[in-house]
Copies of this chain bind each other. A is one copy, B any other.
Amino acid sequence: MKGNLYLIPTVLGSTIPSEVLPDSVFKVIKGLKHYIAEDIKSARRFLKRAGTSVPVDEIKFFELNKYTEKNDLAGFLTDANSGNDTGLLSEAGVPCVADPGSVIVSLAHNYGIRVVPLTGPSSIILALMASGLNGQSFAFHGYLPVKKNARNRMIKKLEKESAIKNQAQIFMETPYRNMQMTDSLIMVCLPNTNLCIACDITLESEFICTRTIYEWKKNKPDINKRPAIFIIQSGDKAPHGT
């Protein structure tokens, strides 16, 4: 019998784990000894906060990030292949969405390892829910290009796509570039395009607001260095997609 691969969500920022994670997550964590994580140090910190009952030095970690060699990946599932349940942890929120975890899940399917996704906070879905934009048709694009001209071209392209498909377009930015992103959006998009800015999701300082570009221009938000999700939707259709 093979072990399961549990996809284990974590908190977004400094929230108390039980505020955003359900019982199933704590039950799985309680006895789990094998993990794949982006950063071992922060994974250890999270597991302590989430109440693992395994002494932290008995937990075995594999690190999955941009430094991981492709040839090492199969070895990460040796424990699951030999019957030990293994957890795949995200750095923030749910694993395998806007993070590199899916390469492991893909391998697990090849090996016939059962993959069990657990519920937790996804900043993308929480932002979309709270945006009032089209939750029946949407696309997520990760990070847009960093260079201004390329970023502006991409924003224009997404705005057009949104108008053609009546599809909400979701993307992210590294927090210290939020203001450049906001400036680009205000400059590039049509005045009646809807823009949702969602930052510090699930935190005390949570700010989620949907306005037209015309309105944001008059009242630019202060979101510098706060983790944010951006969603645009063309104003040529009703914002809620009906």
What residues of chain A have their CB less than 8 Å away from a CB belonging to chain B? 7, 18-24, 94-109, 115-117, 119-122, 124-142, 167, 201-202, 206, 208-211, 239-242
Name the distance in Å between A22's Cβ and chain B's nearest Cβ: 5
CB < 8 Å: which of B102, B122, B130, B211 contacts A131? B102
Q: Give how many copies assemble into the complex.
A: 2
User: What B residues does A129 contact at CB under 8 A?
Assistant: 7, 94-97, 101-102, 105, 117
The complex places the Cα of A242 from the Cα of B104 at a distance, in Å, of 12
The complex places the Cα of A136 from the Cα of B21 at a distance, in Å, of 22
Contact status A241-B117, CB under 8 Å: no
CB < 8 Å: which of B97, B133, B167 contacts A135? B97
Name the distance in Å between A233's Cβ and chain B's nearest Cβ: 10
**CB closest residue in chain B, given A90:** B129
The complex places the Cα of A206 from the Cα of B7 at a distance, in Å, of 14
CB < 8 Å: which of B96, B101, B132, B141 contacts A106? B132
Contact status B20-A119, CB under 8 Å: yes
Contact status A105-B132, CB under 8 Å: yes
Contact status B7-A117, CB under 8 Å: no
User: What B residues does A242 contact at CB under 8 A?
Assistant: 100, 103
**CB closest residue in chain B, given A172:** B136
User: What B residues does A104 contact at CB under 8 A?
Assistant: 132
Contact status B7-A18, CB under 8 Å: no
User: What B residues does A141 contact at CB under 8 A?
Assistant: 137
Contact status B22-A19, CB under 8 Å: yes
Contact status A20-B22, CB under 8 Å: yes
Contact status B94-A125, CB under 8 Å: yes
Given A22-B20, A116-B206, A117-B130; A211-B109 close (CB under 8 Å): yes
Given A24-B19, A136-B98; A117-B126 close (CB under 8 Å): yes
Contact status B22-A135, CB under 8 Å: no
Residue pairs across A and B with Cβ atoms less than 8 A apart, 24 shown, are A18-B22, A18-B23, A22-B22, A95-B129, A96-B128, A96-B130, A97-B129, A99-B135, A102-B134, A102-B240, A105-B240, A106-B132, A106-B210, A106-B239, A109-B210, A117-B130, A122-B122, A122-B125, A124-B125, A125-B125, A136-B142, A137-B139, A137-B142, A139-B139
The complex places the Cα of A107 from the Cα of B7 at a distance, in Å, of 35
